[in-house]
Amino acid sequence: MLLSVNIFVSLDGVMQGPGTPDEDRSGGFDRGGWLVPHASTHTNEVVESWFRQADAFLFGRTSFGLLGGYWPKVTEPDNLIATKLNTLRKYVVSSTLTDDEADWSPTTVLRGDLADEVRRLKELPGEELQVHGSWKLVQTLHQAGLVDVYRLLQYPVIVGTGKRLFLDGSTPAMFAPVDESMRVLPGGVVSLTLKPTSLGTISAGTYTVDEGRSVPVRD
């Protein structure tokens, strides 16, 4: 399976607490729910297109608890997201969560070396192993070079504080769009799908003047 990271993010890179004020108040975060005024049928269609490709899910403990406290309550049979989340295999990374506490069935708790566990899961049959939210987990997966695809919905808002998708000190990387994946939705939300093309290095260059013309020179 491919490992995809699927994220709602603000213009300033914040991914914390998009759905409700009380979703994640860690670190004193008090600006939750910033996504909701920009939600629409268009953004929902994009998110549903993500979930159609899912065969299993991988979560950090916090996101597992948040999503597991919400989506089992959504029982309408034609809700694609709820159906996928409530029925497909789920894996949660935790050294303290017990099997009894991981009661959003079917769920397996991963307690071993994360990189080894994820590599094993990626070898299983299926289209995608999907990560949604799971801020700390995403940092670890990026640093280990395990992410195959990033899908972003970037919302036209500056949150100003909170957990950011890529922190200062993150491993440098370069990305390429998947097909013609960039779309600007009504309302200014940007949908983007990217695949990593390099990890640990980025290309650079300089601008120079050549016979009166400003010319980019790539290394």
pLDDT digits (tens, 9 = 90+) for 104-126: 999 999 999 999 999 999 999 99
* pLDDT tens digits for range 19-49: 999 999 999 999 999 999 999 999 999 999 9
pTM: 0.93
The closest of 137, 139, 136, 108 to 124, measured between CA atoms, is 108
Ordered by where they begin, the domains of the chain are 2-218 (3.40.430.10)
* pLDDT tens digits for range 120-157: 999 999 999 999 999 999 999 999 999 999 999 999 99
Handedness of CA 49, 51, 54, 60 (dihedral sign): positive
Q: Could you give the CA distance from residue 16 to residue 23 in angstroms, rounded to a whole number? A: 8
Q: Which residue has the higher pLDDT, 164 or 181?
A: 164
Token pair, residue 146, equals: 């395990």
- The residue whose two tokens read 């919905």 is 153
For the chain, the residue count is 219
The closest of 128, 203, 202 to 171, measured between CA atoms, is 202
Mean pLDDT of 163-175: 95
Q: Could you give the CA distance from residue 186 to residue 157 in angstroms, rounded to a whole number? A: 15
